[in-house]
């Protein structure tokens, strides 16, 4: 008998893997917490009462569906049809709240009394503090001591929202140290605390759970594009990648449409060969980071290399395991943009369309001229956030 070829899947398998990437590489002390989540997350998400509350909040609190906007002047310049998915119009200014809404409802159903999170630039911390205020749940956000100094406005927002911001004082006193502290806190408070991770990273089931909460982005893209062009699938979907949550959400409902090119854009920092970069797939190798096997930037002997990007949200030494698999399998097209190219693209969008984008999203905008998209093709670019938080950086380029 002929063997039936198994349909190639880009989704997580029952063991928590995407090809060779993923899994749950965690200290034994963390096992009960992660296991409780793994056993329950799919059935909780499927509950009609969960779906109703999640969708009501996305609609009436976050402001979904976010528009799919045809950028006419940009389309004219690049001689193709460019649509912007306006995640910058979400409450709190970026896509991150789609995930924190989902996870706070998960925490409630698991009977948790407290939430802990890590944050780098403070965007995920603000999105977490926001939903904790909404649900009257205690919120502790770990943040590197150095980042607390650099990101004062977001620290103030979190405090005003009622969160306790705890400094991580070890190591480089940035995101990776805050992540370690948050995990330590979770180990010590396993029964009553839920850990809200901010991207499609961490041990299984986090990458899959976060991707499901962000998948609303591509679900809306499909019907919105159909409404406007008569076609449900674009030729390209483009998104920036830090850990990869806005990209995972943008790709989710197109993964099996092999004619849709999925373009992930990493931060090249000061240049791929400059030693100050965050372009993980260009510079990294397989290894284990924050609980999963993925691709990360590391030295010969496996030490994590400090990443660098002008954009705090892309300043991460790894990518989520699903992205590692999309890269490895060739399903995803991985590109990069430098600090300089991203800033230029931010000014271009602002002057062409009257939209000031986040520095993260500007990396995706920066590759529009390199896609090779033709006049009849449709490109959807996920505009992950708005640029208000980056004004201090942009101001340096205005004379
Ligand atoms: C945090 C952030 C990102 C990067 O995170 P992903 O998980 O890769 O999406 C991108 N854009 C904005 C606006 C962000 O705040």
- Beta carbon of 66 within 6 Å of any ligand 1 atom: no
- Indicate if 360 belongs to the active site: no
- Beta carbon of 313 within 6 Å of any ligand 1 atom: yes
Q: Which atom of ligand 1 is nearest to the CA of 358?
A: 13
Q: Give the residue whose CA is nearest to atom 7 of ligand 1.
A: 245
Q: Give the residue whose CA is nearest to atom 13 of ligand 1.
A: 385
Instruction: Give distance in angstroms: CA of 246 to centre of ligand 1.
Output: 6
Instruction: Give distance in angstroms: CA of 383 to centre of ligand 1.
Output: 10
- Beta carbon of 93 within 6 Å of any ligand 1 atom: no
- Indicate if 384 belongs to the active site: yes
The 10s digit of each residue's pLDDT in 218-277 is 999 999 999 999 999 999 999 999 999 999 999 999 999 999 999 999 999 999 999 999
The 10s digit of each residue's pLDDT in 122-176 is 999 999 999 999 999 999 999 999 889 888 999 999 999 999 999 999 988 888 8
What's the per-residue H, E or C state across the chain? CCCCCCCCCCCCCCCCEECCEECCCCCHHHHHHHHHHHHHHHHHHHCHHHHHHHHHHHHHHHCCCCCEEECHHHHHHHCCEEEEEEHHHCCCCECHHHHHHHHHHHHHHCCCCEEEEEECCCHHHHHHHHHHHHHCCEEEEEEEHHHHHHCHHHHHHHHHCCCEEEEECCCCCCHHHHHHHHHHHHHHCCCCEEEECCCCCCCCCHHHHHHHHHCHHHHHHHHHHHHHHCCCCCCEEEEECCCCHHHHHHHHHHCCCCCCEEEEEEEEECCCCCCCCCCHHHHCEEEEECCEEEEECECCCCCECCCCCCCHHHCCCECCHHHHHHHHHCCEEEEEEEHHHHHHHHHHHHHHHCCCECHHHHHHHCCHHHCCCCCCCEEEEEECEECHHHHHHHHCCCC
The 10s digit of each residue's pLDDT in 31-85 is 999 999 999 999 999 999 999 999 999 999 999 999 999 999 999 999 999 999 9
The 10s digit of each residue's pLDDT in 270-298 is 999 999 999 999 999 999 999 999 999 99
Instruction: Give distance in angstroms: CA of 75 to centre of ligand 1.
Output: 24
Q: What is the pLDDT of residue 4?
A: 54
Instruction: Give distance in angstroms: CA of 243 to centre of ligand 1.
Output: 7
- Beta carbon of 119 within 6 Å of any ligand 1 atom: no
Q: Give the residue whose CA is nearest to atom 10 of ligand 1.
A: 360
What are the boundaries of each domain within the chain? 30-59+96-209, 63-94+215-395
- Beta carbon of 361 within 6 Å of any ligand 1 atom: yes
For ligand 1, mutation pick of 360, 362, 381, 387 (most atoms within 8 Å of CB)? 360
**Confidence bin at 336 (pLDDT 50/70/90):** very high
CATH class of residue range 30-59+96-209: alpha beta
- Beta carbon of 123 within 6 Å of any ligand 1 atom: yes
Q: What is the pLDDT of residue 127?
A: 98
- Beta carbon of 358 within 6 Å of any ligand 1 atom: yes
**Confidence bin at 8 (pLDDT 50/70/90):** confident
Average confidence (pLDDT) over 361-377: 98
The 10s digit of each residue's pLDDT in 300-333 is 999 999 899 999 889 889 999 999 999 999 999 9
Q: What is the pLDDT of residue 6?
A: 55
- Indicate if 389 belongs to the active site: no
Strand partners, 332: 262
30-59+96-209 and 63-94+215-395 have identical folds:
yes
Instruction: Give distance in angstroms: CA of 122 to centre of ligand 1.
Output: 11
For ligand 1, mutation pick of 93, 240, 295, 336 (most atoms within 8 Å of CB)? 240
Average pLDDT of the residues of the chain:
95
- Catalytic hit among 75, 85, 87, 96: 96
**Confidence bin at 7 (pLDDT 50/70/90):** low
Q: Give the residue whose CA is nearest to atom 1 of ligand 1.
A: 313
CATH class of residue range 63-94+215-395: alpha beta
- Beta carbon of 74 within 6 Å of any ligand 1 atom: no
- Beta carbon of 94 within 6 Å of any ligand 1 atom: yes
């Amino acid at each position: 008998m002929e063997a039936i070829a198994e349909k190639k899947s880009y989704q997580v398998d029952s063991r928590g893997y995407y090809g060779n990437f993923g899994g749950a590489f965690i200290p034994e002390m963390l096992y009960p917490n992660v296991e409780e989540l793994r056993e329950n997350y799919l059935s909780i998400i499927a509950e009609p009462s969960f779906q109703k509350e999640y969708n009501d909040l996305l609609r009436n609190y976050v402001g979904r569906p976010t528009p799919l906007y045809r950028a006419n002047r940009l389309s004219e310049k690049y001689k193709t049809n460019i649509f912007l998915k306006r995640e910058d119009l979400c409450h709190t200014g970026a896509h991150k709240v789609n995930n924190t809404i989902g996870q706070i409802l998960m925490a409630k159903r698991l009977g948790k009394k407290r939430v802990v999170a890590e944050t780098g630039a403070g965007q995920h911390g603000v999105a977490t503090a926001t939903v904790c205020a909404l649900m009257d749940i205690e919120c502790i956000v770990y943040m590197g001591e150095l980042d607390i100094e650099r990101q004062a406005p977001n620290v103030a927002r979190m405090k005003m929202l009622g969160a306790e911001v705890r400094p991580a004082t070890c190591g480089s006193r940035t995101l990776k140290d805050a992540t370690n502290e948050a995990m330590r806190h979770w180990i010590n408070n396993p029964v009553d605390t839920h850990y809200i991770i901010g991207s499609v990273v961490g041990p299984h089931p986090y990458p899959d759970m976060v991707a499901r909460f962000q998948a609303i982005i591509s679900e809306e893209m499909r019907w919105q594009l159909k409404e406007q062009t008569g076609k449900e699938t674009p030729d390209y979907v483009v998104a920036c990648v830090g850990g990869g949550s806005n990209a995972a959400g943008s790709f989710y409902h197109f993964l099996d449409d092999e004619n849709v090119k999925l373009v992930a854009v990493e931060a090249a920092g000061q240049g791929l060969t400059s030693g100050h970069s965050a372009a993980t797939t260009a510079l990294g190798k397989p290894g284990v980071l924050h609980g999963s096997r993925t691709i990360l930037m590391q030295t010969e002997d496996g030490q994590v290399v400090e990443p660098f990007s002008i954009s705090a949200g892309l300043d991460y030494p790894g990518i989520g395991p699903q992205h590692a698999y999309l890269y490895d399998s060739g399903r995803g097209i991985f590109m990069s943009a430098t600090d300089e190219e991203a800033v230029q693209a931010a000014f271009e969008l602002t002057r062409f369309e009257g939209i000031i984008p986040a520095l993260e999203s500007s990396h995706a905008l920066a590759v529009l001229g390199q896609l090779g998209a033709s006049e009849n093709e449709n490109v959807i670019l996920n505009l992950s956030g708005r640029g208000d938080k980056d004004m201090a950086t942009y101001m340096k380029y205005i004379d």
